[in-house]
Amino acid sequence: MNHACLANVNHSLTVKEAIELFTEHLETLGRSPETIDTYKDNLYRFYRYLCNYYNSQIYVDKITDDDLLRYLREEYNHEYYASAYRFNIVTAFKCFLRFCYRKGYCTEDIAKKIKQVKRKVKERVYLTDKEVEKLLLCIEHPVIKAVVQTMYYAGLRISECIQLKVSDVDFEKNWIMIREDTEGNIQKVPISHKLRSALLSYVENRGNSQEFDFFFATRTGKLSAGYVNLKLKEASEKAGLKKVVTNHILRHSFASNLLEKGADIFTVQKLLRHKNLKTTLIYLHADIERLRKAIELIS
What string of DSSP letters covers 235-286?
HHHHHT--S---HHHHHHHHHHHHHHTT--HHHHHHHHT-SSHHHHHTT---
pLDDT score, position 241 = 93
Helix (H, G, I), strand (E, B) or coil at 18: helix
Please provide residue 187's backbone torsions phi and psi, each rounded to the nearest 5 degrees: -110, 135
Distance of CA 86 to the CA centre of its chain: 16
Alpha-carbon distances of 187 from 168, 217, 273, 274, 278, rounded to whole Å: 11, 22, 8, 11, 20
Distance between start and end Cα atoms, the chain? 66
Q: 129-293, superfamily in CATH?
A: Intergrase catalytic core (1.10.443.10)
Per-residue pLDDT of the chain (299 residues; tens, 9 = 90+): 444 343 333 447 899 999 999 999 998 887 878 788 889 999 999 999 999 999 988 899 899 889 988 988 888 876 566 777 788 888 899 999 999 999 999 988 988 888 887 766 566 678 999 999 999 999 999 999 999 999 999 999 998 999 899 999 999 999 999 886 555 578 889 999 999 999 999 998 876 555 668 899 877 777 888 899 999 999 999 999 988 898 989 988 998 888 888 888 888 888 888 877 777 777 776 555 555 666 676 65
pLDDT score, position 7 = 38
**CATH for 3-113?**
1.10.150.130
- Where are the domains positioned within the chain? 3-113, 129-293
Do 58 and 51 contact (CB within 8 A), yes or no? yes
pLDDT score, position 228 = 93
Q: CA-CA distance, 166 to 178, in Å (whole number)?
A: 12
Cα Rg of the chain (Å, integer): 23
Alpha-carbon distances of 16 from 49, 135, 147, 266, 277, rounded to whole Å: 12, 45, 38, 40, 34
Alpha-carbon distances of 85 from 88, 89, 114, 140, 277, rounded to whole Å: 5, 7, 16, 35, 22
- What predicted TM-score, i.e. pTM, was given to this entire model? 0.60
